[in-house]
Amino acid sequence: MAETTRSATKAAPARTTRRARGTKASGPTAGAAENGAARAVDGAAPGGPAESAETLVAYYRQMLLIRRFEERAARAYTEAKIGGYCHLNLGEEATVVGLMAALRPTDYLFTNYREHGYALAKGISAERVMAELYGRSTGVSKGWGGSMHLFDAEARLLGGYGIVGGQVPLAAGAALAVSYKGGDEVVMCHMGDGTTAIGAFHESLNIAGLWDLPVVFVVINNGLGMGTTVEHSAAEPELYRRGAAYRMESVRVDGTDVVAVRDAARAAVERARAESKPYLLETVSPRLKGHSVVDPARYRSKEEKEALKAADPLARMALELEEAGILSHDDRDRLDAEVTAAIDAAAAFADESPAPEVSTLFDYTYATPVPGELRRLPADPVFSS
Ligand SMILES: Cc1ncc(C[n+]2csc(CCOP(=O)(O)OP(=O)(O)O)c2C)c(N)n1
């Protein structure tokens, strides 16, 4: 299920993940199929026989919640209730839930602009996430961040970044802070495949490798940076192999298998925690729709779209749970009705919530010398001293 690359010369880490199977294919669909085949060889329903039915149903429910949330966000966008950019996790649900299941509540998360599902799976309510998308004061960033800038220090979600790769050096910095203070928290930092070509990605991995920072970098390889394929933009399209340049253990995993993702992420996170070593995890997680809600994905052929639909991780998990006798068709319908009602309630909450006061516009714009001190304008003493 996972491929691993290890440094040949740096001191070997104490433990390792499942060993690599050879692969040539590197596109998301190819990767998913290959890893899917590995799962079939393992002969397991999701998670295998050791996984409890309760856990699998809980994962399925979370994936369904994210799916219905994102579908609702897409609809709200066309109704002009959401402004600005809006990028969805459709097709990425197994990755989202698997990654978040590997974290402790005290671990930190940095991610990019495709982050609604991560906020939900990190425990932030659908109401607060939807309200943020609607730009309302009850939102997770008090209505000033919008879809791309969800931030909740209490949940340890430290953004939400619209600048491609902006989060990567910040995550290395947070890991340095953890290491400096001597805590046992781990920092996880997500990015898309396109992000691995920017300078800050390499600088951050270098410093994390050099200084043994407790950070897990996760490349969510959906095969495309907007409309450009990985094969057209990366000289080494097997992105997890980039870890070798920094003597960093790295693994590629099937991002459509929630338990495989969780297990790979757990191994990475626990290694970072126990040994203070950075890690590079690549998930192969095809996105079902366009880059953002306004992208019709015309760069994809009809056949490609059909193949993606057939590989939908949510539908596949539903089928696997049914075949394993864990969740019947009726159970699934009941769960769906429950989740849809929760999303309806979140949308109603967002709709009824007030917009932020204009007077709070600068409250969260500038850093303050004193933590918790809210409001600074350019004319305030902090800027003139
Ligand atoms: C520094 C910077 N350059 C360009 C953009 C425009 N842009 C937004 S998303 C994107 C593609 C990023 O692709 P990837 O890292 O694979 O993430 P994905 O959207 O697939 O999740 C680009 C080029 C940006 N936001 N920031």
pLDDT digits over 297-345, tens only? 999 999 999 999 999 999 999 999 999 999 999 999 999 999 999 999 9
Among candidate residues 219, 194, 215, the one with its CA nearest the CA of residue 204: 215
- 70 Cβ contact list (under 8 Å, min separation 6): 88, 89, 90, 116, 117
Q: Please, what sign has the CA dihedral across residues 289, 292, 296, 301? A: negative
Residue-level pLDDT at 17: 27
Among candidate residues 306, 271, 262, the one with its CA nearest the CA of residue 63: 262
Instruction: Provide the pLDDT confidence category of residue 362 given band limits of 50, 70 and 90.
Output: confident
Q: What atom in ligand 1 is closest to the CA of residue 220?
A: 21
Instruction: Provide the pLDDT confidence category of residue 371 given band limits of 50, 70 and 90.
Output: low
Q: What atom in ligand 1 is closest to the CA of residue 163?
A: 26
Residue-level pLDDT at 88: 98
Q: Residue holding tokens 């879809």?
A: 147
Least confident range from 36-50, 165-179, 342-356: namely 36-50
Q: What are the structural domain ranges in the chain?
A: 2-354, 356-385
346 Cα to the center of ligand 1, angstroms:
28
Q: What is the mean pLDDT of residues 40-47?
A: 35
Q: What CATH number does domain 2-354 carry, 3.30.70.890, 3.40.50.2000, 3.40.50.300, 3.40.50.970?
A: 3.40.50.970
Ligand 1 pocket, mutate which of 85, 222, 226 (most atoms under 8 A from CB): 226
Residue 368 has pLDDT above 70, yes or no: no
Q: What atom in ligand 1 is closest to the CA of residue 87?
A: 19
Among candidate residues 196, 195, 178, the one with its CA nearest the CA of residue 187: 178
Lining ligand 1 with CB less than 6 A are 114, 162-164, 191-195, 222, 224-226, 291
Q: Whose CA is nearest to atom 25 of ligand 1?
A: 163
163 Cα to the center of ligand 1, angstroms:
7
Residue-level pLDDT at 157: 97
Instruction: Provide the pLDDT confidence category of residue 168 given band limits of 50, 70 and 90.
Output: very high
Residue 120 has pLDDT above 60, yes or no: yes
Mean pLDDT of the chain, nearest integer: 86
Least confident range from 101-115, 155-169, 370-384: namely 370-384
Q: Whose CA is nearest to atom 2 of ligand 1?
A: 164
CA dist list (Å): 379 to 358, 366, 368, 370:
18, 12, 13, 17
Query: pLDDT (tens digit, 9 = 90+) per residue, 190-239?
Result: 999 999 999 999 999 999 999 999 999 999 999 999 999 999 999 999 99
Distance CA 283, CA 254 (A): 6
Residue-level pLDDT at 3: 53
Residue 44 has pLDDT above 50, yes or no: no
Residue-level pLDDT at 133: 98
Distance CA 111, CA 191 (A): 6
Q: Whose CA is nearest to atom 13 of ligand 1?
A: 225
197 Cα to the center of ligand 1, angstroms:
11
Distance CA 97, CA 228 (A): 26
Residue-level pLDDT at 4: 54
Instruction: Provide the pLDDT confidence category of residue 374 given band limits of 50, 70 and 90.
Output: low
Q: Whose CA is nearest to atom 11 of ligand 1?
A: 225
Q: How many CA atoms lie within 13 A of 22 on its CB side?
A: 1
Share of the chain above pLDDT 70, in %: 82
70 Cα to the center of ligand 1, angstroms:
19
133 Cα to the center of ligand 1, angstroms:
19
Residue-level pLDDT at 367: 66
Q: What atom in ligand 1 is closest to the CA of residue 222?
A: 20
224 Cα to the center of ligand 1, angstroms:
10
Residue-level pLDDT at 347: 98
Query: pLDDT (tens digit, 9 = 90+) per residue, 10-42?
Result: 332 222 222 222 223 334 433 333 332 222 223
302 Cα to the center of ligand 1, angstroms:
24
Residue-level pLDDT at 216: 98
Residue 1 has pLDDT above 60, yes or no: no
96 Cα to the center of ligand 1, angstroms:
19
